[in-house]
Amino acid sequence: MDILATIAERKIREAMAQGEFDDLPGAGMPLAMDEELTGVPAELRMAYKILKNAGFVPPEVELRREIVSLREMLGTLEDDEKRRSVGRELDFKLLKLGMMRKRPVNLDEFPEYREKIIGRLGG
């Protein structure tokens, strides 16, 4: 997590402890979200929604679907070799999605490598 996210998280927790979020409209109700468009930049969501309604799926959305499917599959596999194979494919698709979004790799998406990478970088 970067420094700004850490600061924001701390401020949110302080506000929650002080009760500043109590009695907000819609409290306790689920958010209406389009799961397929999470991770798509806000300025592109409307265009993607129009394309989706027209029967076209942007590459990022299709890749996200594949990632969700691979994660679900990974949870059901018992064969170690198959798990490694699916895990490598999942890692590749996560990296590809990150590159498509033009953002740095988030180590939280790779928990099995996170500690190794931090250790090698001297963190």
- Per-residue three-class SS string for the chain: CCHHHHHHHHHHHHHHHCCCCCCCCCCCCCCCCCHHHCCCCHHHHHHHHHHHHCCCCCHHHHHHHHHHHHHHHHHHCCCHHHHHHHHHHHHHHHHHHHHHCCCCCCHHHCHHHHHHHHHHHCC
pLDDT in tens, 60-93: 778 888 998 999 998 898 888 999 999 899 988 8
pLDDT at 116 over 80: no
Domain spans of the chain? 59-105
* Amino acid identity at 102: K
